[in-house]
Amino acid sequence: MRIAMRLFPLAVVCVSATTRLVYDPYEPGYGPDGPWNEITVYVNQRLESTNSAGPVAAVRMWPTGGSPVELLSKDVSGVYSGEASQTAVKYDGGFQYSLLNPWPTGYTGKKMWFDTVKFQLEADPSGPNFMDINTTIQEVSELEETYTDLLSLGEYMSIPVGILGLGKKIDFDSEAERKKLGFPLWIIDQFVESNTITANSWFMHLGDNRAEQTCSFSLGGYEKNRVLGQVGTFDFDPLFGMPKAFLIDVALDVEYGGSPFLSDRTLGSVWDADNITVSDKELVKQYGGPLDSLMVLPDAAFPYICLPRRVCDAAAEYLPVYYDAALGLYVWNTTDELDQVNRIINAPAYMSFTFSDVSAENVTIKVPFTSLFLEVSPQRNGSAEDARYWPCKPWADPYSEEDDPNPGAAIIPFHFGRAFLQAAFTGYNYDRKRFYMGQAPGPDAGQRVLVDDNTDTISSNPADSFAASWQRLWTAIESNNSTNTTSDDQEANSSKSGGDGMTAGRTAGIVAGAVAGICGAIGAGWWYFRRRRRQENGQNAATHSGSGDEYHAIGGKPELDGEGIPIAELHPETAKRESQALAELHSPSRRNELEVQSMVYEMPAGDVSPNPTEHPASHEKTDQSPQKP
C-alpha cells in the first residue's frame, strides 16, 4: 500500500544560510504517463459563485529552464482561470515570447495574464515561509498536435500539471528589456532582489515517485545528498538559454550481480552513431559538440527519453517489450513474459547515458530499470487498463526536412524528460552562465545537507553510494545464473576508466596463478632434494662410517643468512656432489595473501513492482503491475 503522505525529515543538517528549499511533501504522483513528482505553488482564486476573495488554490507545476509559466484553463478541465484570479490583470499585447523556443511545451490557445504565484518555502530563520512572485501566466485552452502526438497521437488529454518556466535570457540586459515591455523580472531574479537567496540559480532532482522519493527543488543552492560523484558542467546557448549537453553513448548494464537480461545478449553500448541524421549532426556542429554525438535537452515538460529509433530498437532487443504503433511507445509484455519483466525491473540493472561536458569530460547518468516501468495513463488508443511502458521514445525533429538534399540544422534537440530526470541532478546558475548535471541517488539518499551555490564546482556525495541508495529495492541476480559477458569494447572502456587497465577479477586471477606456480616449484624442489639426500646418505654412511665431520640438520629451525635464505651445512664431499641440487627456492618477495572482498547484500523487504490489488499510484486508474515471482 502506498504511503499517503511522507514529509521531509525533521532533523536537517544545514550548512547553508541562503539556500531555500521549496516545501514539497510526498504524495502519489500525477500523469500523464507517470506517475511523476511535481512541485506545488499557489494562486489566488475567487469563489465560483461570487466576486469575493476565495482561498488560495494549490497548483502543481513541473519546473523547467524555459521562460513561460503555463497552466491549462478551467474551461478545458484544467486548474487555472485568469478571470477567477483575485490578482490577475489581463495583458492584451500578445502572449509572452517564449525564451526557449526549442523547448516547446505543446500548449497553445493562450490568454496572457499578469498574476501572482506564491511559493511555500521550507521553514528557515533567514526568510519567510511564503514568497509572492509576480509573473506572466499563459492560460492554455488546448494542446498542439505536435505535443499530443508524443502523448496520444492527437487524442485530447487533460493535464492537471502546469509548466513553471524559471529560465532567463543570458547575454544581454534582459531586465531593461522586460521593464520596457512592462513585464515583471524573471522569477529567479525576484528571489535575488528580495534577498531571499544570493545566487541566481536553482537546482532539482525530480526523484522516483513510485519509490516514494520526494522531489528536491531548491533556490540559490542545492542538497549535496542529491548528487553523487563527478558533476558535469555545460555552457548555455546565448540565444535560447539551452544547456549545450552532448550525448555520446547509451548502454545497458548492472550495478552488481548477474545480468537479468536475455542470456544471448552482451551487456554494453547500444549507441549507433552511423544513423544520426544530417540535420542532427548539423545541430551538434553549430553548437560545437563532439563528432557522432547528439544534442539533448533535459526538460521536465516532457515525459519521455527521446532518442533515434535505431538506438531505442537496439536497447529493446534486451527487453521483454514490444512497440505499440498506436501509442508510439514500447510496452512491457506483462502478459507472456511476466517473470522476465519482474526479473529486470527488480534487479540492479540500468540504462546509462554518457555526456561530454564543457571540458570534454565524460559524465554518466544511470537510470535504473526500477524507474523505467511506467504507466500508460490515461488509457487510450486501445491500451490495456494495466499497460506499462518503457519510456525510450523514437523521435525526430518535426521541423527538419530529411528529404531535402541539403537540409539545415535541426531546431529542436532530443528531449530528455521526466523519465530521465528521476535519476539526474540538474542545476542552472545564471550568474556563471553554467548548467550542471550529475548522478542522483535512489530513495535512500541519506541525511540532507544544504550547500550554498557560491563556488564554480558542485559538492557531492561519493559515487559508490549509488548502489546503497537503491539496495533496499533491488534483488541481485546470482552471477552463475547469467551467461552474459562483457564485450571487448566494454572491457577496453573499463580499462581506460580504471587507470591501470586491470579489473579486480583479472588481478586476483593473475596473483593466484603466480602464487600457485611458486608453491609448485618449491614443492618439486623439496621433493627432489629429499630424494637425492636419502640416496647420498646411504653412500656417505658406507664411506664415512664413524666420522664426526658431517652434520645433518633434520627438522628444527634452519640457520638463516642475512638475506633470510635457509642454509643447510653439508659435508665437503656431499657439497661437491650436490652443487646442482635445489635446496630451497628463494623469493625476494614477502608472502602475500589474496584479499577477497565479500559483499553481503541485504535482500529487499518489499518489491518495487506494484501489487495487482493495490490502489493506483496515479490518481487516474488502478495499478495492476507484475509481481516478483
Average pLDDT on 264-272 reads 90
pLDDT for the residue 542:
42
Let me know if residue 516 belongs to a domain: no
Say which DSSP state 20 is in.
Answer: E
Average pLDDT on 53-80 reads 80
User: Under a CB-based contact definition with an 8 Å cutoff, are residues 66 and 76 in contact?
Assistant: no
**DSSP-based three-state secondary structure for 133:** strand
Average pLDDT on 225-245 reads 92
Let me know if residue 58 belongs to a domain: yes
Supply the range of the domain harboring residue 462.
13-476
Higher pLDDT, 152 or 253: 253
pLDDT for the residue 332:
98
**DSSP-based three-state secondary structure for 438:** strand
pLDDT for the residue 105:
59
Let me know if residue 207 belongs to a domain: yes
pLDDT reading at 403 higher than 50: no
pLDDT for the residue 503:
40
Write down the mean pLDDT value for the chain: 74
CA dihedral (333, 339, 341, 344) in degrees, to 10, reads: -160
Q: Which of the residue ranges 131-145, 162-176, 241-255, 398-412 has the most confident prediction, judged by mean pLDDT?
A: 241-255
**DSSP-based three-state secondary structure for 21:** strand
Lowest-pLDDT choice from 161-170, 362-371, 425-434: 161-170
Let me know if residue 135 belongs to a domain: yes
Lowest-pLDDT choice from 36-50, 197-211, 296-310: 36-50
pLDDT for the residue 342:
98
d(CA 43, CA 619): 22
Q: Are strands 362-368 and 374-375 parallel, antiparallel or unpaired?
A: unpaired
pLDDT tens profile 304-345: 999 999 999 999 999 999 999 988 999 999 999 999 999 999
**Distances, alpha carbon 77 to alpha carbons 59, 115, 137, 141, 346, in Å:** 13, 20, 17, 9, 37
* CATH number for the domain harbouring residue 323: 2.40.70.10
**Distances, alpha carbon 39 to alpha carbons 13, 22, 543, in Å:** 22, 8, 101
Cβ neighbourhood burial of 470 (10 Å; 0-12, 13-18, 19+): buried
**Distances, alpha carbon 490 to alpha carbons 270, 292, 398, 498, 624, in Å:** 11, 18, 34, 12, 37
Q: In what order do the strands lie in the sheet with 424-429?
A: 20-21, 216-219, 201-205, 424-429, 434-439, 228-235
pLDDT for the residue 523:
55
Q: In what order do the strands lie in the sheet with 374-375?
A: 321-324, 329-332, 388-390, 374-375
pLDDT for the residue 159:
61
* Cα 300 versus chain centre, distance: 14
**Distances, alpha carbon 70 to alpha carbons 20, 116, 266, 525, 617, in Å:** 23, 13, 45, 84, 25
Supply 297's cell numbers: 535537452
Average pLDDT on 243-251 reads 97
Higher pLDDT, 213 or 501: 213
Average pLDDT on 455-476 reads 97
pLDDT reading at 519 higher than 60: no
**Considering its fold, how many domains does the chain have in total?**
1
CA dihedral (9, 15, 20, 23) in degrees, to 10, reads: 0
pLDDT for the residue 127:
56
Let me know if residue 532 belongs to a domain: no
> Nearest-CA neighbor of 63 among 226, 300, 221?
300
Q: How confident is the model at residue 189 (pLDDT cuts 50, 70, 90)?
A: very high
Read off φ and ψ for residue 93, nearest 5 degrees. -85, 15
Q: Which amino acid is at 45?
A: Q
d(CA 488, CA 490): 5
pLDDT reading at 469 higher than 50: yes
Higher pLDDT, 498 or 296: 296
**DSSP-based three-state secondary structure for 116:** strand
Beta partners for 111? 139
Q: How confident is the model at residue 285 (pLDDT cuts 50, 70, 90)?
A: very high
What is the H or E stretch that residue 131 is in?
A: strand 130-143
The pLDDT > 70 percentage for the chain reads 62
The pLDDT > 90 percentage for the chain reads 40
pTM over 0.75: no
Q: Any long-range contacts for 609-612 (C-beta under 8 Å, 24+ apart)?
A: 609/342, 609/345, 609/346, 609/373, 610/210, 612/386
d(CA 159, CA 72): 7
Let me know if residue 315 belongs to a domain: yes
pLDDT reading at 441 higher than 70: yes
* Cα 448 versus chain centre, distance: 19
Average pLDDT on 61-76 reads 85
pLDDT tens profile 381-394: 888 889 999 999 99
Let me know if residue 524 belongs to a domain: no
Let me know if residue 222 belongs to a domain: yes
Q: Are strands 392-394 and 424-429 parallel, antiparallel or unpaired?
A: unpaired
Average pLDDT on 538-565 reads 41
pLDDT tens profile 562-587: 444 444 444 444 444 444 444 444 44
